[in-house]
Amino acid sequence: MDDKDRKDEYEKICLMCRRPESRAGKMLEMGNDICICRECLQKAIDSMKFSGISYDDFMNFMPDFSKNGGTDSKDKKEKQEVVEAGSGSGDPDDPGKKDGKDGSEKKPGGIPTIGMINLSDILGGMGMGVPRQQIRKKKEKEKKPVKQIDINNIPAPHKIKASLDEYLVGQEHAKKVISVAVYNHYKRIAAGAEDVEIEKSNMLMLGPTGCGKTYLVKTMARLLDVPLAMADATSLTEAGYIGDDIESVISRLLTAADNDVDRAEQGIVFIDEIDKIAKKRNANQRDVSGEAVQQGMLKLLEGSEVEVPVGAASKNAMVPMVTVNTQNILFICGGAFPGLEDIIKERLNKQAAIGFFADLKDKYDDDPNLLSKVTVEDLRTFGMIPEFIGRLPIIFSLEALTKDMLVRILKEPRNAILKQYQKLLALDEVQLEVDDGALEAIAQKALEKKTGARALRSILEEFMLDIMYEIPKDDNIGKVTLTREYIEHTGGPVITLRDVGYRLTQSETPPANIAAK
Helical segments of 53-135, H only = 55-61, 73-81, 119-125
Looking at residue 8, what is its pLDDT? 57
pLDDT band at 260 (very low <50, low <70, confident <90, very high): confident
> Which residues, other chains included, contact 60 with Cβ-Cβ below 8 Å and sequence gap of 6+?
109
Average pLDDT over residues 197-219: 88
Residue with the bigger pLDDT between 55 and 345: it is 345
User: For residue 145, what pLDDT band results from cuts at 50, 70 and 90?
Assistant: low
Least confident of 119-128, 154-163, 170-179, 333-342: 119-128
Three-state DSSP class for residue 503: strand
What average pLDDT is seen over the chain? 75
Question: Residue 356: pLDDT band by 50, 70, 90 thresholds?
Answer: low
418 Cα distance to chain centroid: 28
Residue 434: strand pairing partners: 482
- CA atoms in the 13 A half-sphere facing the CB of 296: 21
- CA–CA dist 307, 321 (Å, integer): 6
What is residue 126's three-state secondary structure? Answer: coil
CA distances from 24 to 16, 38, 141, 211, 481 (A): 11, 8, 20, 53, 62
**Residue 367 in this model has a pLDDT that exceeds 70:** yes
What average pLDDT does this structure show over 355-360?
A: 62
Position 90 pLDDT exceeds 90: no
Confidence of residue 9 (pLDDT cuts 50, 70, 90): low
What is the chain's Cα-based Rg?
36
* Whole-number Å distance between alpha carbons of 145 and 260: 9
Task: Supply the pLDDT for residue 89.
Answer: 43
Q: Is 374 exposed, middle or buried (0-12, 13-18, 19+ CB in 10 A)?
A: buried
Amino acid letter, residue 350: K
DSSP 251-317: HHHHHHTTT-HHHHTT-EEEEE-GGGGSPPS--SS--TTTHHHHHHTHHHHH--EEEEESS-SS--T
Q: Is the pLDDT of residue 71 over 70?
A: no
Q: Tell me the C-alpha distance between 212 and 426, whole Å.
A: 28
Digit-coded pLDDT (tens) for 457-507: 999 999 999 898 988 888 888 899 999 999 998 888 898 887 644 444 333
pLDDT of the residue at 142: 55
The DSSP call for residue 212 is S
Residue 353: predicted pLDDT: 59
Q: According to the 3-state scheme, what is the secondary structure of 322-380?
A: EEEEHHHCEEEEEECCCCHHHHHHHHHCCCCCCCCCCCCCCCCCCCCCHHHHCCHHHHH
Q: Which amino acid is at 365?
A: D
Rounded mean pLDDT, 102-106: 46
Please report the domains of the chain, with CATH numbers, ordered by start residue: 3-81+114-137 (no CATH), 157-340+378-397 (3.40.50.300), 403-513 (1.10.8.60)
* Averaged pLDDT, 24-51: 74
Residue 2 has a pLDDT of: 53
* Beta-carbon contacts of residue 451 (< 8 Å; ≥ 6 apart): 209, 210
Task: Give residue-wise pLDDT tens across range 406-438.
Answer: 999 998 998 899 999 999 999 988 999 999 999
Residue pair 179/164 in contact (Cβ under 8 Å)? The answer is yes
pLDDT band (50, 70, 90) for residue 199: confident
- Tell me what the mean pLDDT of segment 268-292 comes to: 81
Confidence of residue 354 (pLDDT cuts 50, 70, 90): low
- Top pLDDT among 411 and 197 is at 411
